[in-house]
Amino acid sequence: MIYLLTTLVNNIDHHLYKSISIFFISFLSNTFSAISGGGAGLIQLPALILSGIPYYQALASHKLATVALGMGGSLRNYKSLRNDIYLCLQILIFGLPGVIFGASIVKFISEKYLYLFLGIFTILLALYSILKSDLGLVPGNKKLKLIHKIRFLIFIFLIGIINGSISSGTGLLVTILLINTFRMDFLRAISLTFFTVGIFWNFTGAIFLSKMGTIPLNILIILIVGSFTGGYFGAHLSKLKGNILIKKSFTTVCLFVGISLLIKSTVSFY
């Protein structure tokens, strides 16, 4: 009897500690993600895998949780989305088929090559942000020629494929694509990223990935609470501190995401 009670108490302590740890990891990673425009998967996804959740279930759980991140960030910045509804529709119409395709072929893709490519590209984004001192700091609008619009939509589709398959870093890619294509500032670009990628892309990807196995409900609830509160808090900080903080956070997160992906790729080759 004493043995059973001791085992029960130990299990409760273990589950409580695990739940608290996952909540704080989720809150912190999504706070930084809300400030930088992406990168929540850098910490949150590996943490889920290390806690014993299989990769596909962890990826599906992460995606559903980042829907809450998108809602939290969008709720704080909803006013800035009013003038970009048409652009949001373009990102959804051309991005969602990519997400569905990426989630459908994830079993057949060699992750190590994707991690290697995305890691190198993300580090290059960080270096580009460092070298281009005015990147995303000055708000503006750029009228696009037809060829530029087509190129933008092709990139959106390709990023959607990456989002559906490995998830990590795709919010950062969409953010920088919006800044470069339309000469947006970081705050406006991140608002669009959270609304489109954070909510709709990730929800769609999560639905397809969830068919590969059941998602642990207790972990998912904790992740959703942590993601929503982290997203709202991060969006609030970015509003207070402005584009300079966002640019620094974006550069830092890009570097860490890129290095993390390169390490994953290197490990998987051996």
- Please give the pLDDT value at position 18: 72
- Please give the pLDDT value at position 98: 92
Sign of the Cα torsion 130, 249, 192, 112 reads positive
C-alpha to C-alpha distance for 242 and 187, rounded to whole angstroms: 7
**Domain residue ranges of the chain, discontinuous segments joined by +:** 19-268
- Please give the pLDDT value at position 8: 35
Which residues are CB-contacts of 132 (< 8 A; sequence separation ≥ 6)? none
- Please give the pLDDT value at position 11: 46
C-alpha to C-alpha distance for 139 and 89, rounded to whole angstroms: 21
- Please give the pLDDT value at position 27: 85
- Please give the pLDDT value at position 4: 39
What amino acid is encoded at 76 in this protein?
R
- Please give the pLDDT value at position 9: 36
The ranges of the chain with pLDDT < 50 are 1-13
Provide the whole-model pTM.
0.74
First CA to last CA distance, the chain:
48
